Amino acid sequence: MSMDTSPCFISLLILGLVVTLAGVTPQVEARAFFVFGDSLVDNGNNNYLATTARADAPPYGVDYPTRRATGRFSNGLNIPDLISEAIGSEPTLPYLAPELRGEKLLVGANFASAGIGILNDTGVQFLNIIRIGQQLQFFQQYQQRVSALIGPEQAQRLVNEALVLMTLGGNDFVNNYYLVPFSARSRQFALPDYVVYLISEYRKILVRVYELGARRILVTGTGPLGCVPAERATRSRNGECAVELQRAAALFNPQLVQMITELNMEIGSDVFIAANAYEMNMDFVTNPQAYGFVTSQVACCGQGRFNGIGLCTIASNLCPNREIFAFWDPFHPTERANRIIVSTIVTGDTKYMNPMNLSTIMALDSRV
């Protein structure tokens, strides 16, 4: 039987196809990505809030593709951006961004908010920030919005198959326990007991994310808290890493890995993946030259000793070449340092990624 190939028939065929496709609900393409946590992973939620914990003014974003400050605490791209790049997805939008609607929702969402911690009393000085409980409520709200778009079954599948990043804990030390001498939490707990308390509270958060449908969750430990320029500037005599904050990180991180291992055993599946941010950072903090940095002691943007005092603003010192600095501001890595961290998340061995790295996760999940 010969097929009619006249232009008229072909146009009708195309028209029919267009009409058919127009009636189909949006399809989920790449893997969705959800981000929870603090300023290391905030993509701009705090821009929409009355808070001092913001990065929406120059020189933040000086190396971002648009050359504008977006609310990312970086000179350019941050860790979630680079993970999105690694999984072949576009960057997630902040949940509070008005443009996060319609098909954009299928990419995922970033719920992170600078200044927050595991505990609700962490970051109180920043006033309006999205504490972790609220971030999880927004995740529920997000799921309702996606259900309305693609139906509840597809929405459930999108969440179950998504990748999740959770970055919490640093602020519970820097902006709580050690914020001021004789802080309320330091009077309440000796450091080892505080860490045990933090881990028990963190466990509840991780269980809740699982209950909300997440099945692949990267959980980062804290970085070397005492080595950021802010802490070197205020707590060290000769510019060495601040001992007490390093002790806090050394107590917290192994207990986090242990808790995650136990959770996975209870669930009977490798739902939670521990990313050892401490070791990832220490590689270039202790040996910056090996990674092409000139310094890991001095921030690119800041003022005072090690550019570690106060905030990064238009009035701050600003280094001309961000590629040779490990730290962008007194607390946050440069885009180039973030690239090293994410590269290790993707391909690192069990020293860094436990029980497996992101490339293994992607290979495993693509077979399902």
Residues annotated catalytic, as ranges: 39, 329, 332
Token duo for residue 288: 């910056």
Amino acid occupying residue 118: I
| Gap between the Cα atoms of 215 and 220, Å rounded | 16
Quickly list DSSP for 185-224: HHHH--HHHHHHHHHHHHHHHHHHHHHTT---EEEE----
In the three-class reduction of DSSP (H, G, I as helix; E, B as strand; rest coil), residue 220 is classed as: strand
Identify the CA nearest to 209 among candidates 283, 111, 298.
111
Host H or E run for residue 165: strand 163-167
Contact 95, 142 (CB under 8 A): yes
Q: Distance of CA 221 to CAs 12, 103, 146, Å?
A: 58, 32, 30
Q: Distance of CA 94 to CAs 73, 126, 300, Å?
A: 13, 19, 26
| Gap between the Cα atoms of 90 and 275, Å rounded | 22
60: phi then psi, degrees, rounded to nearest 5: -55, 140
* Residues sharing a CB contact under 8 Å with residue 295, sequence separation 6 or more, in sequence order: 288, 324, 325, 326
| Gap between the Cα atoms of 332 and 327, Å rounded | 6
Strands (E), 17-116: 33-37, 108-110
Q: How do beta strands 163-167 and 33-37 pair?
A: parallel
Q: How big is the CA angle at 181 (ends 177 and 186), to the nearest 5 degrees?
A: 40
